[in-house]
Amino acid sequence: MRIGFQDELDELCEGIQTEGRLAATAVAEATHALVDWQVEAFESTLVAEVEVRRLYHETETRVETLLARQAPVAGDLRTVLAVLHINRSVERAAHNAARVAHLATPPPRRMLVEEAVITDALRAMGDRGAEMVRTAMDTFARRDANAALLLSTLDELVDRENEKIADTILAIDINDPELRQWAGRMLFAARWLERVGDHAVNVAERTTYMVTGEPNTAANQDAN
């Protein structure tokens, strides 16, 4: 039994869990900042994102060291490779959360029905995105091979909200410059929140690969 190696592997998995929890927090706080214009939530998002970025580099270094010194194979190798990919997805999710937080701005006063539709949809996307990141990390911890299926179902709900936002914005009288600016920012925010869902699906797909050894060729490879 390679006790030292097992300890390193456990630390790697614990590290990525911490990173995942922080990314989920960043997404939730970013959504709060976006739709409720909370400065504290904006600051919390950025603090979490900076910490995720630090952990991202730490995890990458750990993976590099572990590969160099322990030469893992079989299930251990798949775990290390899964962590390497999940690390990237989690970091991207947190980075997208920071992008969302930076887009927070109150809507123009003349927005009525549309504002409610858009902010409700953004809140739903953000809450769902944060929940998806948490769920994905839980499935990784439990080594749940069926995780990808569950996360894909949740992702469809996020995609639907994203489409609703786009449809609503396209129907707005876009000649008003103030309105146009706000709508554009919300459209981008929706895009980044939609990507959070995709990253959570990636985490689940890598978990499935880790458990089964079957590569998931449908994995979402978008760099954002």
Partner 1 sequence: MVEIEAQPDAAPTQMATRGVPLNVAGVATRTAPTDLSVEQPELVFDCREIGVRYNGVRALRDVNLQIRRNAVTALIGPSGCGKSTFLRCLNRMNDLIPGAEVDGVCLYHDEDLYGPNIDAIEVRKRIGMVFQKPNPFPKSIYDNIAFGPRVVGLKDHLDDRIEEALRRAALWDEVKDRLKEGALSLSGGQQQRLCIARALAVEPDVILMDEPCSALDPISTAAIEDLMTSLKTDYTVVIVTHNMQQAARVADTTAFFSTDQGETGTRCGVLIEVAATEKIFTKPENERTEAYVTGRFG
Q: What's the min distance (Å) between Cβ of 71 and partner 1?
A: 6
CA gap 106, 44 in Å, rounded: 19
Q: What's the min distance (Å) between Cβ of 176 and partner 1?
A: 58
Helix (H) or strand (E) holding 50: helix 39-70
Q: What's the min distance (Å) between Cβ of 170 and partner 1?
A: 47
Report CA dihedral (10, 19, 209, 150) to the nearest 10 degrees: 120
Structure tokens at 143: 């080594």
SS3 content of the chain, % helix, strand, coil (to 5): 85, 0, 15
- Tell me whether residue 11 or residue 167 sits nearer to partner 1 (CB atom): 11
Q: What's the min distance (Å) between Cβ of 76 and partner 1?
A: 5
Helix (H) or strand (E) holding 170: helix 147-170
* Contact (CB, 8 A) for 37 and 106: yes
- Tell me whether residue 2 or residue 54 sits nearer to partner 1 (CB atom): 2
Q: What's the min distance (Å) between Cβ of 146 and partner 1?
A: 18
- Tell me whether residue 42 or residue 209 sits nearer to partner 1 (CB atom): 209
- Tell me whether residue 15 or residue 72 sits nearer to partner 1 (CB atom): 72
CA gap 39, 146 in Å, rounded: 39
- Tell me whether residue 184 or residue 213 sits nearer to partner 1 (CB atom): 213
Residues that bind partner 1 (CB under 8 A): 1-2, 5, 71-78, 213
